[in-house]
Amino acid sequence: MPSRPFDPQWMTDAPELVAYLEDLCEEMTLAEVRLRKRKSTAQPSFDAAIKAIVLDLYRAHESHPDLEVSIPSGTTTLQAMSKSRYGAAFISARTFQDALGILINQGLVIISTPYWHDPMGKTSRVARHRASVMLLTALLGAGSSVALLRRHSASEGIVLKDDKKKKIEYGDIQIANDARDRLQIINTTLRNHWADIALPDNELIKHKAAISGECEEEASQSFDFAARTVHRVFNNDDWEQGGRFYGAWWISIPSKLRPLILIDGKRTVEVDYAGLHAAMLYAIDGKTIPADPYEKCYSRWGGRQARRVVKLAFNALLNSRSRTQINPIEGFSENLMGMSWKEFLLYVGSCFPEFEDHFGTGVGLRLQYKDSMLAEAVMLKFAAQDHPCLPIHDSFIVHHDLLDDLTNAMQEAFEAEFGAVGEVSYQIGDGERVNITGQLVEVDVDELLNPTGYQGRLHDFWDNQEHLQS
């Protein structure tokens, strides 16, 4: 079963859903069996916990019907969450335990995989949960939709990790404060628009079924359409390593589906930097940037798949601190390449003798910081015009009419940073493309009045936006 950690940072402004959650909190309070009434000062924490658990489990179900959510219930863990900048201040161990307990007791939340304690401390597992049919039915009756959910704007968007990829706390640091302010501008624009994918529900279900395994991040599940804002992750306890943008659903979907992405129901275009990290190194060294830096390496095979594998291997050589301890990348095949993984790495390295001193040094994370600053500059430019710009590390997706604007913004950002012009390429999306057949099309009036699937989500989003602005 696919699973991910609990994320307490979700809320809704939709009147019907807000009313349902308020009634549910009152109902759960009355259902409790207590020797003493809860203190009035603790009731808001209990209510907030009920809402957070319900909304996150609903969001999980909508992104994947079998997705389990690991919700902690241990006092020590909950206390740490309440104090962490990555947690939620409303969490109080006792009231959160009460909230989760009564939801389970009333049949609204199911423990789908029980807690497991490993005495050796190696394979311990937090209990995993799912929303029950009873809860999902009630939410449906309250007019729920993922389009009505959004992350709290105050949730931490600047994440610092150590060399073990664990989140670490940090203090009042100016670089983080400035990055957070700029991130708020970007996320405000993303939050005010709706990105979706032009696939009917029956096709979407097939792609969801292919998802399996654990997800380390709370907000990086494919097809989690509510997750439409981003956060930045810095690595190795260093504010100049990493810094890339994560968390939005479009970042983690299969690349073959990206042409189907819609923004506000309109077709999109994706523009990417050609061989970004290689281009950066050429620019830093004052050398001419090839139109496609990887071509000399993959031309013996040709094709997009070979280029992708060469690109990933090249980046792995830059990211790793050891040239001999790099695991095979996803998509590599000895049959495709005609050589072993070790031989392939040596071959890719030999294609770039000019970068020999960079391989195996871990410089890739510092290049990621530079490309994250390019991404930030591009997105801020679009946010200033209230145009959503969806980041995917070295590429961006915008409304198809903004192709020239995006191309210019990306090249200007690269030139401002490196004093050279970076090459870009683009792909026009296929979503909602109209094919003229000359044949009459039967109109489904009910579908027009009560849209479903991606059109229904867009309808729900705009209805809620009108409510917020009225």
The CA R_g of the chain, rounded to the nearest whole Å, is 24
Of 78, 90, 112, nearest to 4 (Cα)?
A: 112
Of 469, 403, 455, nearest to 196 (Cα)?
A: 455
- Considering Cα of 312, then 313, then 315, then 320, what sign does the dihedral take? positive
The answer to whether 145 and 457 have CB atoms below 8 angstroms apart is yes
pTM listed for this prediction: 0.91
Which residues face 266 on adjacent strands?
Answer: 263
Distance between CA atoms of 248 and 189, rounded to whole angstroms? 13
The residue written with tokens 């009355």 in the block is 30
The answer to whether 458 and 147 have CB atoms below 8 angstroms apart is yes
Q: What is the pLDDT at residue 434?
A: 45
The residue written with tokens 């790793």 in the block is 320
Torsion of CA 455, 24, 93, 88, to 10 degrees: 30
The answer to whether 5 and 70 have CB atoms below 8 angstroms apart is yes
The pLDDT tens digits of the residues spanning 430-441 come to: 766 544 445 554
| Domain limits, the chain | 1-151, 156-469
Q: What is the pLDDT at residue 439?
A: 53
The answer to whether 453 and 198 have CB atoms below 8 angstroms apart is no
Q: Which two tokens stand for residue 146?
A: 């993922």
What type of residue is 350? S
Distance between CA atoms of 299 and 255, rounded to whole angstroms? 22
Distance between CA atoms of 122 and 315, rounded to whole angstroms? 31
Q: What is the pLDDT at residue 346?
A: 95
- Total residues belonging to the chain: 470
Helices (H) and strands (E) in the chain, counts: 17, 15
Q: What is the pLDDT at residue 212?
A: 62
Residue spans of the chain under pLDDT 70: 120-123, 211-220, 431-449
Q: Which two tokens stand for residue 377?
A: 């500059």
Q: At what angle do helices 15-31 and 133-141 cross, to 10 degrees?
A: 140
Average pLDDT, the chain: 92
